[in-house]
Amino acid sequence: MWLIFKKEFTELLRDRKTLIFMIALPLLVFPLILGATIFFTTSAVSDAENKVLKYAMVGQANAPAIYQALKEAPDKFEEVEIAADADYAALINRDEIDFVLEIPATYNEDILSSGQHTLKLYFNDAGLNKVYRRVEEIVKTLSDEYQTQAFETLSLTETQRDALMEPIIISRENVADEREVWGERIGAMLPYFLFFLCLQGAMAPASDMGAGEKERGTLETLLISPMERYKLVLGKFFAIALSGVISALITVTSMAVWGIVISQGMAVEFVATLMSMIGLADFALVFFMLVPVVAIFASLLLTLSIYARSFKEAQSYMGALVMVIIFPVLIAMMPGIELKGAWVWVPLTNVALAMKELIKGTMDYYALFGIFTSTAIIAGALIAFSVYWFNKEKVLFR
Amino acid sequence: MIEISHLAKKFAVESPKKLSEQEKKDPRLKGRYFHSVKDVSFTCDDGQVLGLLGPNGAGKTTTLRILSTALTPDKGEVNINGIDVLKDPIIARKKVGFLSSSTGLYGRLSGRENIAYFGQLHGLSKSDIAAKINEMADLLDMHNFLDRRAENFSSGMKQKVSIARAVIHDPELVILDEPTTGLDIMATSTVIAFIERLKAQGTPVIFSTHHLDEVQALCDKVVVINQGETVFNGTISEFSDLSGGHMHQSFLSTLDGTKMEKSNVVNL
C-alpha cells in the first residue's frame, strides 16, 4: 500500500497541472486575485473620494453658508452654471454635472416655527460614488449649528437635549462573549472554505489515479500485479486524501500570510486575538473533524474516477459531485440552522455545524464524538465500496 | 506447463442500441450479453512458443486477459504449472508476465522507474531490480533512454520498457498481446530476438499476432480462435501442412470458409 501511495505521490509532484492547482494557485494566484481586488476597490473608492464634483446650486441666495462652504473647497467642488429651467436628470446623466443642490426659499426661517428644512440633492446613485456623503459632510456642520442655536433658544440643558434628540434608546447588553460573536461570523464560513478547498485539491489527482490509469492503458498491468486490490485502492485513496488536505492547508496558510502582508500587520492582531480565543485544542478538533470528511471526498472521487472511461468523463462526474457536496455545507451556513434535532444526523451538515460550534466555543463534546464516529463510519463504508468497485470487471473494463 | 480448458466469458452490453450493424449480426450476441469467448482450450509446454491467431474480435485479447488473471472466466479452467489461476490468482500473478496491447506507461516516471515500480510490486529487492533492469537494458537496447520520462517515448521505446516491466520478476509464463503491432523494423527484430531468448531459456510464451511471418519464425504451436471458439490447435508443422506450407491459406482454412478482410492478415 505504501508503495502505491509513494508512486502516486511522486507522480503528482511531477505533474505540472497538479502542482499548479495544488501549490501555485493557492500560493500565488488566489492571493494575487485577492490583492488585485482589494487594490482596484481601494483605488475606485479613493478616486470617488478625491474626484472634483461639478455642481450647481438652485436657490443659493437662500443658503449663503452652504454656498460659501462649497466655494471654499475648489479641490473638491467646482461650480457649473446651469439655466433656471434646466433638466437636472439629463445634465447629470450626460456627466456634465455631478449633482444639483436645491435650497428651499424657507431655508433661512427659524426651524422652530417653520419646521424641518429639506434640501433636495439630485445625483446619480448607481455605481460607486460618494456624492451624498460628501455633500452631507458640509451640510451636517451647518445642521449641527442650527440645532445648537435652537436648543439655546429653548434654554434646554444637555440632558434635555439628549432626551429630546433620542427619547428612547435600547442599550445592548450582549451576554455572548467575544469568541461566540466572532465564531458565529467566521465559523459558518470556515467549513465551506475547508471542504471546498479539500475537494478541489483532490479532484485532479483522483481523475489521474482512476480514469487516467484507464486512459494511459496502465490499469490492466496494475491489476495483474500480485498486490491485493484493497491495497491498490488504499494507496490511491491516501494519496488523493493527502493532496486534498495539503491543498487546503496551503491555501488557508497562504491567504493568512498574504492577508497579513496586504493589511500591513493589521491582521496580525486580529489573527492572534482570534487564535488565543479559540484555543489550540478546539482548533485541532476542527482539523480532526476534517479527517473523515476528506476520507469521504477521496473515496467518492476515486469511485467516480475508476468508473469513468476517460479523464474528461471523470471531470464531468466530479463537477456534479461538487454540487451535491456543497449543498449540505451551504445549509449549515443558513441563519437559524443549529446543531440540534435532525441536523445532528445530516452528514456533512453536522460536521460543518460542529466546526462552527467549536470556533464559537459552545460545542458539546459528546455530540462531537458522535458526529465524528458517524462520519467516520460513512467514510469507512465509502472506502469499502471503492474497494468493491475496484473489483468489478464491468467497472474496470467499461 | 499451461493448461486452458473450455474457457467461456460473456460481457453485459451496456447499450445494445449503440452497437454497429455488424456487431448486432454477430451470433455471439445473445440478449443483453456478448459471449466473447465461448469455448477455448489449449496447452503450452515449457520452452514452447504458442501463437494465438484469429481475426479481429475473435476473442484473443479476452482469452489472454483471463490467462493473466485480469478477467475471471464464467466457465473453464486455467492451470499454470499446477496452480489453479481461478483459485489462487495472487500466486498465479507472480508466475505470469503479461504485456497488454496498450503498452501504457506512467508518463511522469522514467523508463527505469516504471520497470522498478513493477519489480517492487512483485516484492523484488532493490539490488535485484537494479541488476535485472541493467540486464534488460542490454538485451532490449534501452540504455540511451531508460532514465528519461516515459511521456516522450516513441512506440518502440514504450514497447521495450513494457516488455522489461512484464518480465522483471522472471515469470514462469510470458503472455504478449500483439507485441510487435505498430513497431518499426528495428524494434520488431529486438522484440522477436527477446522472445527467442525466452524460448531458449525454457520459458513458455503465448503471444497473439496478425503477423504470420512471426508465427512461422517463432512458434512451436498455433492456436486459432474464431468467434470465441478454438478452431485449430496443433503444431506449427500441422498448421503449415493444412495448405501445403502456405501460412495464409492455412489460416483461412481454419476459419472454415469465413471470408477474411485482407487488413486482418498482414506480412503474408
Q: Which of residues 211-270 of A touch B (CB under 8 A)?
A: 213, 216-228
Q: Which of A165, A190, A222 is a domain's end point?
A: A165
d(CA B25, CA B34): 11
Q: What are phi and psi of B5, to 5 degrees?
A: -135, 125
- What does the alpha-carbon distance between residue B134 and residue B130 come to, in Å, rounded to a whole number? 6
If you measure CA to CA, which chain B residue comes closest to A13? B108
Give yes or no: residues A227 and A317 share one domain.
Answer: yes
pLDDT at residue B257 above 70? no
**CB of B246 within 8 Å of any CB in chain A?**
no
B70 and A CB contact within 8 Å:
yes
Looking at the 3D structure of chain A, how many domains does it have? 2
Domain ends where: A134, A165, A196? A165
User: Which residues touch A12 (CB under 8 Å, ≥6 apart)?
Assistant: A18, A22, A205, A208, A239, A243
What is the C-alpha separation between B232 and B229, in angstroms, rounded? 9
For residues A364 and A219, membership in a common domain is answered with yes
What pLDDT, on a 0 to 100 scale, did the predictor assign at position B264? Answer: 42
pLDDT of B63-95, one tens digit each?
999 999 989 999 999 999 889 999 999 999 999
Residue B265 has pLDDT above 50, yes or no: no
> What residue type is B221 in one-letter code?
K
CB pairs < 8 Å spanning A and B: 72
Rounded to whole angstroms, the Cα distance separating B80 from B175 reads 12
Q: Coil, strand or helix: which one is B177?
A: strand
Task: Decide: A277 and A178 in contact? Cβ < 8 Å.
Answer: yes
The answer to whether residues A311 and A354 belong to one domain is yes
| Strand B96-99, strand A77-79: pairing | unpaired
Least CB–CB distance from A7: residue in B90, B105, B117: B117
Instruction: Reply yes or no on whether the pLDDT at A263 is more than 80.
Output: no
Q: Which of A1, A208, A214, A225 to mutate to test the interface with B (most CBs of B within 10 A)?
A: A225
Scanning the structure block, which residue is given the C-alpha cell 535485472? B132
Note whether A187 and A332 are within 8 A (CB): no
* Chain A contact present for B94, CB below 8 A: yes
Average pLDDT over residues B162-167: 92
pLDDT in the model for residue B261: 40
- Minimal C-alpha gap between A351 and chain B (Å): 37
SS3 of A363, please? coil
Residue A91 lies in a domain: yes
CATH homologous superfamily of domain B2-264? P-loop containing nucleotide triphosphate hydrolases (3.40.50.300)
Q: Is the pLDDT of residue A245 over 80?
A: yes
Contact between B105 and A216 using a beta-carbon 8 Å cutoff: yes
- Is residue B69 within 8 A of residue B92, CB to CB? The reply is yes
For A392, which residue in chain B has the nearest alpha carbon?
A: B71
Residue of B nearest to A7 (CA): B117
Domain boundary among A139, A165, A191: A165
pLDDT at position B27: 84
Residue B268, pLDDT above cutoff 50: no
Chain A environment of B90 (Cβ under 8 Å): 226, 228
Quick check: A221 and B11 CB within 8 A? Answer: no
Place of cell 520459458: B203
Measured between beta carbons, which residues in chain A are less than 8 angstroms from residue B147?
none
Same domain, A100 and A82: yes
Q: Taking a contact as any Cβ pair under 8 Å apart, which residues of chain B between 40 and 59 contact chain A? A: none
Supply the pLDDT for residue B231. 92
Q: Which of B100, B106, B123 sits opposite A11 (nearest CB)?
A: B106
- Do the Cβ atoms of B96 and A224 come within 8 Å? yes
Does ipTM top 0.90?
no
Are both A217 and A321 inside the same structural domain? yes
Interchain CB contact of A392 with B (< 8 Å): no
Is A206 in the same domain as A338? yes
Cβ of B122 within 8 Å of Cβ of A226? The answer is: yes
Residue A261, H or E segment = helix A229-262
> Chain A residues with CB inside 8 Å of B96's CB?
224
The residue of chain A with its CA nearest to that of B62 is A397
Task: Grade residue A281 by pLDDT with cuts at 50, 70 and 90.
Answer: confident
Q: Is the pLDDT of residue A266 over 60?
A: no
Is A172 domain-assigned? no
Contact of A354 with A195, CB cutoff 8 Å: no
User: A224 contacts in B (CB within 8 Å)?
Assistant: 68-70, 93, 96, 98
Is A224 within 8 Å of B70 when comparing Cβ atoms?
yes
What phi and psi, each to the nearest 5 degrees, are found at residue B234?
Answer: -165, -175
Check which CATH number belongs to the domain holding A116 and give it.
3.40.190
A133 and A241, same domain (yes or no): no
% residues pLDDT > 70 (chain A): 95
Tell me the sheet residues that pair with B230: B225
Residues A207 and A185 in one domain: yes
Identify the domain containing residue A228 by its residue range: 2-40+178-396
User: CB-based contact (8 Å) between A3 and chain B?
Assistant: yes
Residue B110, strand partner residues:
B149
Whether residue A71 is found in the same domain as residue A148:
yes
Find which of A273-277, A329-333, B116-120 is predicted with most confidence, using mean pLDDT: B116-120
Residue of A3, A6, A220, A227 best to disrupt the B interface, most CBs of B under 10 A: A220
Cα B42 from chain centroid? 14
> How distant is the alpha carbon of residue A256 from its chain centre?
14
Pair A253, A362 in one domain: yes
Q: Is A215 left (phi over 0), alpha (psi -120 to 50) or beta?
A: alpha
A9: distance to nearest CA of chain B, Å? 11
Q: Going by DSSP bridges, is the β-strand pair B75-80/B83-84 parallel, antiparallel, or unpaired?
A: antiparallel
Q: What confidence tens digit (pLDDT) does each residue in A130-174 have?
A: 899 999 998 998 888 888 888 888 888 888 888 888 889 998 887
What are the grid coordinates assigned to A155, written together?
A: 434654554
What type of residue sits at position B129?
A: I
CB contact under 8 A, B71 and A397: yes
Is B105 close to A397, i.e. CB distance below 8 A? no
Query: Which pLDDT score is estimated for B74?
Result: 93
Yes or no: say if B189 and B139 are a contact pair by the CB < 8 Å rule. no
Cα distance between residue B128 and residue B260, in whole Å:
47
What residues of B are in contact with residue A11 (Cβ under 8 Å)? 106, 108-109
pLDDT in tens, A368-382: 999 999 999 999 999
Is the same domain home to A239 and A320? Answer: yes
Half-sphere exposure for A278 (CA within 13 Å, toward CB): 24
- Domain assignment present for residue A322? The answer is yes
Residues A108 and A213 in one domain: no
